[in-house]
Structure formats: structure tokens, C-alpha cells
Amino acid sequence: MNADDSCQGGQSQRLQIARAYLKDAEILIFDEATANLDADSEYAIISSLYSVLKEKTVVIIAHRLSTVKDVDCIFFLEERKITGSGTHKELLENHERYARFVQEQMIE
């Protein structure tokens, strides 16, 4: 059992973000970092991520669009292929499947 095992409510994710920041890596990858969190904890984690790592290249892999809707560029994948890329607004306007996916998740 490690220290992360006893953390709750996004504490483990916050520790991972802090470790990534301290390592000073040029590129950081977060794979489903907020998948098991409630909406409030997810918001706190994403806010921390954006403010602490704003000068880094960060790749966020997520199924929840609320996690990535404010990033610089979203790559939308279907059947393991990138079928669209752009900002949330650009994809909403130009990618039918993305727009449907957003509607299904009730994100504006």
C-alpha cells in the first residue's frame, strides 16, 4: 500500500499533479485523471491542473468532455482514429459526431 491508496476525493490526483510539476517534465500525460471523481472534485483537479501546469504541454485523455472542453485543442477519436480536432467551439460547429457526443453529456 502506498500513500496514494489512503487518499480520497481527488487527493491522489492532486498529489500526482504536484509530483508532475516538481519533476519539471516538458510533456505530461494524464490518463483519465478525473474518471472516478464527483463533479466538485473534478472541477478542483482540473482548475489545479490548468493553473499549475499552464506553461507545460499537457496531454489529457478523458471520456468526460467537461474535463477537456476548455483546453487549447481537442482531438476527437472514433474507432481508434482521429476524426476531428480543434477547440470545443470549433468541433461543435464542424464535427457532427462530436456535437452529438457533447449533447449526450449535456455540456454547453
* Per-residue pLDDT of the chain in tens (108 residues, 90 and over written 9): 344 444 554 566 667 777 777 777 788 787 776 666 677 777 777 777 777 667 778 887 877 777 788 888 999 999 999 999 999 999 999 999 999 989 888 755
Q: How many domains does the chain have?
A: 2
Residue linked to cell 472541477: 43
21 and 51 in a single domain? The answer is yes
81 and 55 in a single domain? The answer is no
53 and 77 in a single domain? The answer is no
State the catalytic residues: 32
For residue 107, being part of any structural domain is answered with yes
For residue 87, being part of any structural domain is answered with yes
E-strand ranges in 16-80 read 27-31, 57-61, 74-78
26 and 51 in a single domain? The answer is yes
Q: Note the pLDDT of residue 1.
A: 38
For residue 84, being part of any structural domain is answered with yes
Q: Note the pLDDT of residue 57.
A: 84
56 and 79 in a single domain? The answer is no
Q: Note the pLDDT of residue 60.
A: 79
Range of the domain at 43: 8-60
56 and 82 in a single domain? The answer is no
pTM for the whole structure: 0.67
Long-range own/partner contacts, residues 25-31 (CB < 8 A, 24 or more apart): 25/56, 26/56, 26/57, 27/56, 27/57, 27/58, 27/59, 28/53, 28/56, 28/57, 28/58, 28/59, 29/58, 29/59, 29/61, 30/58, 30/59, 30/60, 30/61, 31/61
